[in-house]
Amino acid sequence: MISLIFITIGILFNLLGCIGIIRLPDTYNRLQAATKCVTLGCCSILLGVVFHFGFSDAGTKVLVAIPILFFASTVGAHALIRGTYHFGIKLGNKSVKDDYKDALK
C-alpha cells in the first residue's frame, strides 16, 4: 500500500516535468523543469519498489539504483546545459542576466 502511494507521487511529479518540457519557452528552462521533476519522480517510484519488495535481493538492488539514477541525471543535466551554452543557443528573451558570457572571454 505504502509503495502505491510513493509510486503515485512519483508519477505526479513526472507529469509535472512532462508539462514543463512542453510548455516552457527555451532549452535552459525546459532542462530546469524536466530534470528536477523527473529525477525526483523516478527516485520516488524506485522507493516505492523498495517498500514493495522489502529487504530482499530486489530491494537492495533498487537501493543501489537510486544513487546511480541521481548522479546520472544531475550530471547529465549539467553537461547538457553547458553543452547547450557552448553550442551557441542564446538565452531566452525573458532572461535578465548573463554572467557566464564574461567568464568565457
Residues 21-80 touching other proteins, rule: CB under 8 A, are 21-42, 45-46, 48-49, 52-53, 56-58, 60-65, 68-69, 71-80
Q: How far is the CB of 10 from other proteins (least distance, A)?
A: 7
Sign of torsion, CA 85 90 96 97? positive
Q: How far is the CB of 91 from other proteins (least distance, A)?
A: 7
Within 10 angstroms of residue 43's Cβ, the number of other Cβ atoms is 19
- Stated length of the chain: 105
Q: How far is the CB of 71 from other proteins (least distance, A)?
A: 5
The yes or no reply on residue 13 touching other proteins (CB under 8 A) is yes
Kindly state the cell numbers that stand for 80.
Answer: 547538457
Q: How far is the CB of 35 from other proteins (least distance, A)?
A: 7
The Cα–Cα gap between 89 and 10 comes to 31
The yes or no reply on residue 105 touching other proteins (CB under 8 A) is no
- Half-sphere exposure in the Cβ direction for 97 (13 Å, CA): 1
Q: Which of 2, 5, 54, 81 contacts other proteins by CB under 8 A?
A: 81
Kindly state the cell numbers that stand for 93.
Answer: 528573451
